Chain A
């Protein structure tokens, strides 16, 4: 890690206030925020969603939506130059030359209809007098610098032809091609798989070391913080909670909020295994396969095997995790098991009954035995239907009288720790965590034997994630339900699963008790996944490195 020996302050934010609208008494999104980033230093700005991290970065860049969010006090200085009062023209000159930014979603941050090389070229054309040839040479060199392969081909490629990691490298090349003093990275690895994330973090750190760039790194992920930060600043509700050198904040957090935040980070060390049970098997998948065929009227059909020979067994009251990176086939398997999509080969036995070949109509009575919770609670609940109706709809479909179904909905809301009056409210009146509780209540309404959770906590902040995981655990103990837990997050898997299946390219590469697979992996891929997990050296909840815990 590059120590911040230099005292050259690149970014100096003092008592910044950003309000919602122009009025003097406007709600403050950023309230009295002060922080500095020095040359060659990485400051990690951490906080949960809505804490004001991104607004801070957009304020620095001058990219706040005009008229909606308005900086109303304090100062933001870039190498001594005040930015809040700078003209639009001056801000444009400073962008990409003195300060640059990379964003969370490499999939959407690049213009889909322009070659990526040209998109980098735009920076040079806007800010330099170089001729076409010199510009192209500089771009190709920069693309090699960010370790892109086959740069000439990629130069002339459209973004959709590149992987997420490659796109983020393009973004980094674009941001750093003019060697700005300050790089703002807003959750740049959140949308990437762990192995890609590790590469991108290494790249940012290496580039920073070579060029002495000051980096303001925004993240919600303590693991990433541990990997990359020199100093850490914790934000909450638009205010700075505390800041300090990485080691100090992780070992001796001063504020209660920071302690809670760290305690919520699930440990990569698996929880103590529960004793094996001889409860009946409720779900079995036998050599399950799903092949997608792309038909065309004249051309050749294309086949993609999204899942191959997947065999799983789940007993009553147990939790089986399916882990893997995006595109590994986890969600395909989950959807085949729930019969949201039809498997093309193999079988699924639910409570002893083969369901993979049942027609929609014959499947109907079995559907209630297996229910699914989806990743994004903002999109999985119908916004125009009250929470109570959403929960009661399933039982009513299965013939329960409406009155009883609504009474049941009320009980379930209590079970997931929501107030009974939530029943007549709409999804938008709830936070993400609350919505996921509603989704859980909806899934439980049919008394299923198996609950499938497809990345059910991935969209939630760590503290909320911890609560939802606790809730699932509690429900499992009370109802003896079996849980099939799909996740890309090994920390979450370590804390909730009894058994784990690791998937890659549609196949299971390793399967066994979580405590074994996650501590003593037999397959190279599982090892690579574990190695890439950010912050694996830290036991955040106990405020110490893992190495010290072992002593």
Chain B
């Protein structure tokens, strides 16, 4: 309504993002798969000082040369709204959907979000067995192994992946490769 509830913004050079709490949102962006389109999106985020927590991109409709970019970002509601509009302004962008808002509108907790990680763990003896047992418990699959190591493939929500990685740390974690978040809305409708 008016800006009076924002006393700490002292000058025009300050944005009024003081009183609002940060939120994490997942955006789905449908773009033409043309050279430089990812650079436009990333340049927008770096140029305007927005956060990227996770970003995935791949062509999803080959005949139409359309790619889908999934971005997880953190900011105040005002900033998140800006990000959505700024993305929408890019010429090769067809549509921007804030999946987090869509989920809230449908009275759901969150959109469907999955991430895949490859987790390499090296060790012998009891630690090795423990790693294998925990891998089982997390429904991770062993996709490569020697007598000294495993590579687990694990899929799930970001929180599950984080948890798995932190458990593997004392058991000989060597390296991790993650895909970033892929997301869709629940229910029968598409974007």
Partners in one complex: no
Which B positions have Cβ atoms within 8 angstroms of A?
A: none
Chain A positions near chain B (C-beta within 8 angstroms): none
